[in-house]
Amino acid sequence: MKIKESVAKILDELPEGVELVAAAKERTPEEVFKAVQEGVEIVGENYVQEAEKAYEVVGNKVKWHFIGRLQKNKVKKAVRIFDVIETVDSVEIAREIDKRCQQSGKVMPILVEINSGEEEQKSGVLPEDAEQLIREISGLKNIKVMGLMTMGPRFGNPENSRPYFIKTREIFDIIRRLSLLNVEMKYLSMGMTNSYKVAIEEGANIVRIGTKLFGERNYK
């Protein structure tokens, strides 16, 4: 399927209130531009360097979400490009974002990434540590916590992802009920090409889709 058709199909399919993030890793700036022409309004990037290249072509008529692993030495650049950072999972990285935002007079909306599969090598904060982390981040003036994000383990069968989405949704509800100052639990970012339908059933209002929009990635 061409990008034009796949973008139209997915946008048509998503229920009202669910936002599409086009997961653009390993795509050329031209492919990203094409998707934007066809109606994509949010681009998700895993790498700051790739984002810079795509940004040069696409510009700021779309929103840019950072969805990769953020290294401290990339935060300064990331703060310049991105409208939302979806993958905050430590106080250290939050403090760095806060510091860089303060320098440029910006408040960064962020999502806290939950390691819902509790896999050691994965990024994200463990479910039982999420509340404490969010309480600490909520004290930073140049960051606003706007929700949660999770990947979950990668499965062929989307049904196997459901428990991880349910778990993340439960944390989302618990934190929301706390009504913490400077925390607005608005966005729940869950679900990718193979799992977004299940994620939406479990309450996702942001889905991050790559393969189904752009085709298979070419692993080098």
| Residue of the chain from 193, 197, 205, 215 that contacts ligand PLP (CB under 6 A) | 193
- Look at residue 101 and give its three-state secondary structure: helix
Asked if 210 interacts with ligand PLP (CB under 6 A), we say yes
Asked if 138 interacts with ligand PLP (CB under 6 A), we say no
Residue holding tokens 């109606």?
39
- Look at residue 123 and give its three-state secondary structure: coil
| Residue of the chain from 51, 67, 79, 185 that contacts ligand PLP (CB under 6 A) | 67
State the number of binding residues for ligand PLP (CB under 6 A): 12
Question: Cβ–Cβ contacts within 10 Å for residue 178, how many?
Answer: 13
Asked if 127 interacts with ligand PLP (CB under 6 A), we say no
Burial 67-105 (b: 16+ CB within 10 A, else e): bbebeeebbeebbeebebbbbbbbbebbbbbbebbeeee
Q: Which is nearer to ligand PLP, 125 or 192 (CB)?
A: 192
Asked if 157 interacts with ligand PLP (CB under 6 A), we say no
- Residues within the interface to ligand PLP (CB under 6 A): 23, 25, 46, 67, 151, 192-193, 208-212
